[in-house]
Structure formats: structure tokens, C-alpha cells
Amino acid sequence: MRLILASASERRAEILRDAGFSFMQLTSAIDETPYPGETTHDLVQRLATAKAELVAARAVGPAIVIAADTEVTLDGHIFGKPRSSDDARHMLEKLSGRTHAVVTGVALIRLPDADRRTFVESTLVQFAALSGEEITRYLATGEPHDKAGAYGIQGRAGRFIPRIEGCYFNVVGLPLARLQHSLTELGWSED
């Protein structure tokens, strides 16, 4: 049974490759705008499910489609991907010296029978206090611009994160151990 990653994310693909999974990637562009009053948990689950459904509708043959959506949340506010450098700076200033949550929704659809598994994983991330100069230097790397919360723990921002509580891979964008468990529940094996 094939695995299909419903994402263009190189970070998610790298997690799967490094863990020894064989898979193909299909993109699943959807509107990721939160609904008014939508919680982070509900948002990531809704978006992951929509991405999985979009790709499952195009897939042929036996497969398991894997989709995910990751958001950063602090004080009830969702920090998606920054729209500009100023937006990224604002996010990093808010995260500086604080602990926030990284929340990932994952949806799996087994084809052709459409059996599903969904879950949400949350990891607490402690950020060091950042100076304005540190934020400016980090912004200049370009790394923050396509990542939820304007940072990537697996890159240069790892220097600013003294502690996490929960799954590291969740912060990168795909909670690996929970994914493996769900794949096993759906009958996937490496054979």
C-alpha cells in the first residue's frame, strides 16, 4: 500500500524520508483562513482533513493519504505563516521570553475504503528572550517567512529554544510517533 503525503512541505517530507518511509507527494492547496471563533485545535483538524480529502479524491489505487496542518498559538492567538517581515518581527517579539504551543492536526485516509484516523498533537515550546538585534539578524536569514510562528526549530531558531515539552517532530510539522501508530491502526506495514 502506497503512502501519499498531501503536502508540498519539504520539512514534512524530510521527517518521513529520515524515518525510512517511502512515499509520494501531492499538493493540496486550500484556503487556510480560520473561521471566526475557531479554536486552534479545530482549525488544524479541519485543515488537515480538507487537505487529505482533496488529495484522496485524486489518488488512484490502494494508498494511505497523510495530511497535516501546524499552527503556533499563544494567549489564544493563532500565529500562522507571516505575511511580511514586519508580521514575522511582530510574531517573534510576542514569542520572545514566553512559552507557546505548537499544535498539529493530522488526517489519514486509507483508500479505497476511506477508513480514517485523525488526531491533534500539541507541544509546548519555551522561547528565550530575544533582543531586537537578534530578531533582525534572524529575519535576514529568510528562514522565518514560510513557517508558522515565524520560526523553524530545526534551523537557526533552534538556538533560541532552551526547552520543549512534547514531541520535537510535532514542532517541525509532523508528529512521527503518533503518525506511526495511526498508520498501524489502518493496516499499513513496511513489507
For the chain, which domains are there? Answer: 2-185 (3.90.950.10)
Instruction: Output the pTM of the full model.
Output: 0.92
Please name which of 102, 74, 77 lies closest in space to residue 170, comparing C-alpha atoms: 102
Question: Mean pLDDT over residues 125-145, rounded?
Answer: 95
Please name which of 151, 174, 38 lies closest in space to residue 89, comparing C-alpha atoms: 151
Please name which of 161, 172, 154, 187 lies closest in space to residue 68, comparing C-alpha atoms: 172
- Element of type H or E holding 71: strand 63-74
Active site residues: 69
* CB 88 within 8 Å of CB 157: no
Q: Using only C-alpha atoms, what is the Rg of the chain? A: 17
Alpha-carbon dihedral 127, 172, 69, 66, rounded to 10 degrees: -160
Mind listing the pLDDT tens digit for each residue in 91-126?
A: 999 999 999 999 999 999 999 999 999 999 999 999
Mean of per-residue pLDDT scores for the chain: 94
pLDDT class for 189, splitting at 50, 70, 90? confident
pLDDT tops 90 at residue 80: no
Give SS3 for 94.
helix
Q: What is the pLDDT of residue 191?
A: 65
Q: What is the pLDDT of residue 65?
A: 97
